[in-house]
Amino acid sequence: MVEAGGRTKPARLRGRRVALAMVAPAVLLVAGVYAYPAISTVLYSLAFIDLSPRFRISGFVGFRNFARQLTSSAFWEATGITVYFGVMLCVSTVVIAFMIALLLNRTFLGRGLVRVTVLLPWAVPPVASGVLWVQMFHAEFGFLNGLIRAFGGDGDVIWLGGQVIALHSVLIAEVWRWIPFATIFLLAGLQIVPRTVLEAAAIDGAGSWKAFRHVTFPLMLPVIVPVVIFLFVWAMKVFDTIFVLTRGGPSRATTTLNFLVYRQGFEQFDFGSASATAYLLSTLTVLAIAGLGWMFFRSQRLVGE
């Protein structure tokens, strides 16, 4: 039987088998790396894990691990820190990156060098970045306290020792790390904003601020919202910077939900609670993505109108 295109049915079936055979190793790898841990975590979250004499499931406890987390003050404290950290990371990064993108969207001498400089933080590995910021935040020999002393201040701030300032110190390090990513996307969005629209706004008498508020910003919303979604999801699972800078301290002040999973699993060896917390974190992340996704589609409708 010859089909349209000159191929017989057996030849088409052989082609499908060859394609499946070539894809199979990648599918098995993805299943091993993602599917198996996900299924295992579900089982652990519903079970009691016995570590002696070896790691094994000794019995199922239903949703008791989830109930224990939902009634735990440590869980809700970590949830509040995670949400606050995510909101502050998104707002701070997008605002700073937007200002940089507006600058780089102009023509000036040395613009190429500035663009390369802006990208440098993204090239630094996370752990190396954390070690760098540990030195920056050092109470005695750190750059930040030295800069304060250079301008006549006391320069005795303990950046990683106070419960409030430690969280914001981690936030500074993460904002510095993600500014290049946000800048690239926002700059790309600015470069596709029609010049004719901006020129028409200028002819109508709109100043720089009004043109930005009523023209540039609405047209940029379809670009801003996906960037915010990515940054918020990353904030949900931030770990390496916290591990290097504060180890979740002082006194749980920088313990996000993802770091709480680490503490429960690898410090307290309570793998059932750690698995339950991990899935509660996943649920929170999905809800955040759904809310931000709604904002994305809403922004597209506003631009279309």
pLDDT band at 304; cut points 50, 70, 90:
low
Q: What's the Cα-to-Cα distance from 201 to each of 101, 207, 282, rounded to whole Å?
A: 20, 8, 44
pLDDT for 221 equals 84
Query: Cα–Cα–Cα angle for 231, 234, 238, nearest 5°?
Result: 135
In this structure, what DSSP letter does residue 207 have? -
Q: Is the peptide bond before 25 cis (omega within 30 degrees of 0)?
A: no
> Is-contact 83 69, C-beta < 8 A?
no
Distance CA 97, CA 91 (A): 10
The answer to whether 212 and 99 have CB atoms below 8 angstroms apart is: no
Q: What is the pLDDT of residues 22-58, one digit of tens each?
A: 888 888 888 788 888 888 888 889 998 888 777 888 8
pLDDT of 155-175, one tens digit each? 888 899 888 899 999 999 999
- Spatial CA neighbour of 277 closest among 47, 41, 35: 41
pTM: 0.86
Helix (H) and strand (E) counts in the chain? 14, 2
Contact 231, 94 (CB under 8 A): yes
- Please name the residue ranges forming H helices in 31-160: 36-45, 64-70, 73-104, 111-123, 126-136, 143-150
